[in-house]
Structure 1
Amino acid sequence: MARPARGKKLVTRDGSKAARVTESEIEEPSGNYLSSELTLKDPARQLLIKGDVNNVLSHEEKQGGLPVSLNEVEGFRMAIDECQLEHLLCQGGFFTWNDRQLGTYRISAKLDRVLINGEWLKRFEEIFVTVLTESISNHCPLLVKWEYHSCRTNRYFKFYNMLTEAVGYKDLVQQSWRMPVKGTKQFQLVQKQQRLKRELKLLNRDRFARVDIQVQAYREEMEHIQAELQVQPNDEQL
C-alpha cells in the first residue's frame, strides 16, 4: 500500500496478541487522524506505539526551519494524555530525523518515538529504547529492549522509609534528578521518574535485599511469641 505523499503512517503493536501489528494510513496532512486513531485504542489492553509519527510535542523537539505552532502539537498532546501513554526511558541521541542539509540550513526534529500504556509496564519489568545512529534513511532506528518474566508475580517496586537512611541516598536522588533531559515538561518528568525508580531499585537490592521477606519472618516470629504468651503469660523467657 503506497504511502500518501503528504500523509503519515501509524504502526501499533498490541501486546495482548502475539505478533499482531496494525498499520493505519493517515491521509490528512493536518495529522488529526493520528489523534483519532490513538483515542480509539482500549486503555485496558497492552499498547506500544513505535515509529515515525511525523509530529513533535514542543518547540524543543525541533531545531531549525519554521517555528513549531500550537496547532501542530495540540492534537497529539491531547491524544497522549487521553490514552494515558508514557514515553519510554530513552538512551542515545535526542533528535531522530534531519533533512541532511548542512550548517544553518539543517533541520532536525524528534519525529520518531515509543509510547506505551500502563498495562504494558505491568508485564515488562525493564523496558527502554535506544536511538541508534542513522544509516541509509535520514531517520534514526529505534531499538526497544525489555526483560520479560512469564512466571512473574506482582512484584512492584515498593518505597520503604528506611531507604532514606541509607548512606548516599540523598546524593543519589539529587544527582539523578539533576541530570538534564530534553523534551516537554511532561516528558522530562516521566523520564526522571523512571530513571530515579531504577536507581532506587538498585539501592534497595544492594542494601536491603528482599526486606519484605525479612519483615514477614519477624512478624511471624512475633505472632508466635504472642500466642505463647496467651498460654504461658508468666513465662519470663518469652
Structure 2
Amino acid sequence: MTVIYFRVHAQLIHVELLHHVSNKVVNVTFIYGSNDGDIRESLWDELRQLTPTVTEWIIMGDFNIVRDMEERLGPNPPSLAEILAFNKCLLDCNLDDLQGYGSDYTWTNKREGEAKIWSKLDRVLTNPNWLIQYPHTQDYNALVSQAWQIPVKGNAMFRLFARLKNVRQKLVDLHKRNFTDIYMRVRTAKKDLKACQKHLQQNPLDPYYLAQEKGISEDYWTLR
C-alpha cells in the first residue's frame, strides 16, 4: 500500500492508502483521545470534518470514553454528557463498532477491591461502506489492546506514534503466523476444491468428499 494523504490532529492521525492489488483507496484513522472531555470535543469535530471526504473508513484506538454505562465497572462513573457527545459524533459520522471478540473491557486501573475500574476505552469503528467492501473484517481487540498498553513515555503525539508502531509490529507478527504464502495457499485450496467437486459430479452422495468439499470451501473463502 502507498500513503496518498496524511493528516495529523492533536488526537488522531488520518491516512488514505492506495491498495495496489485492487487499486482502491482506503481511509484509516488512529485515535488517541484526551482524558479531558472538553478537549475531546475537538476530536469529535475533526471526525465530523473528515466524514464527507472518505469512502471506506476504519477508525481504531483509545477514545478515552465509553459508549454507555455498561462499558465501565467500578467507582466514579463517567460523565453522561461526555458519553452522549461521543454517541452523537458516531451518529453524525455514520460510524459503529466493528464486531470484536474477547473481553468487553480493554483498560483497567490495576487497583484492587472496590477501587478497581474496568472500562472499554479502545475500540474499532467502521462506516457502512467499509463493511460492504470488507464484510469479513473483525476486530482483533485483544491483540490491539495488548499492543496499545505497552508502556511508553513522552508527549501525547510521541506516545501515539509509539503505540501505533507497537500495534503495527503485532499485526506484522500476526500476518507472518497466518498469512505467509497466502497466494499459494489460495491456489492449493482452489485446486483441491475443484478435485472434490469433480468427484462429487460422479458420486454426489459420497460422505467423505461432501465433508471435504465443505471444509475446503470454508478455507478457500476465508483465504480469499
TM-score by length of 2: 0.51
Superposition deviation, residue 19 in structure 1 = 8.3
Count of aligned pairs: 142
Q: Which amino acid aligns with 1:41?
A: L
User: 1 CA distance for matches of 2:56 and 2:102?
Assistant: 26
Determine the structure 2 residue equivalent to 1:57. Answer: 67
User: 2 CA distance for matches of 1:24 and 1:129?
Assistant: 15
Rate the CA distance shift 1:54–1:12 in 2: closer, same or farther, 3 A.
farther
Aligned CA RMSD, in angstroms, stands at 3.8
Matching of residues 124-163 of structure 1 within 5 Å: 124-130=134-140, 131-132=142-143, 134=146, 136-137=150-151
| Conserved? CA contact 2:30–2:59, under 8 Å | no
Pick aligned residue for 1:103 from 100, 109, 113? 113
Rate the CA distance shift 1:96–1:13 in 2: closer, same or farther, 3 A.
farther
Determine the structure 2 residue equivalent to 1:10. Answer: 12
Rate the CA distance shift 1:77–1:24 in 2: closer, same or farther, 3 A.
closer
TM-score by length of 1: 0.49
Q: Which amino acid aligns with 1:33?
A: S
User: 2 CA distance for matches of 1:68 and 1:26?
Assistant: 15
User: Between Structure 1 and Structure 2, whose CA radius of gyration is higher?
Assistant: 1
Determine the structure 2 residue equivalent to 1:81. Answer: 91
1:55-74 residue CA offsets vs partner (Å, 9 max, x unmatched): 11111011112122221111
SS at match of 1:128: coil
Identity %: 28
Unaligned runs of 5+ in 2: 1-9, 20-24, 153-162, 180-213, 218-224
User: 1 CA distance for matches of 2:33 and 2:104?
Assistant: 25
Determine the structure 2 residue equivalent to 1:172. Answer: none
Q: Which amino acid aligns with 1:51?
A: G
User: 1 CA distance for matches of 2:57 and 2:50?
Assistant: 8
User: 1 CA distance for matches of 2:15 and 2:57?
Assistant: 6
Superposition deviation, residue 123 in structure 1 = 1.9
Rate the CA distance shift 1:19–1:116 in 2: closer, same or farther, 3 A.
closer
Q: Which amino acid aligns with 1:87?
A: D
Q: After TM superposition, what 4+ stretches of structure 1 lie above 3 angstroms from structure 2?
A: 11-29, 132-139, 141-145
Q: Which amino acid aligns with 1:113?
A: R
User: 1 CA distance for matches of 2:50 and 2:99?
Assistant: 22
User: 1 CA distance for matches of 2:66 and 2:14?
Assistant: 18
Determine the structure 2 residue equivalent to 1:213. Answer: none
Rate the CA distance shift 1:84–1:107 in 2: closer, same or farther, 3 A.
same
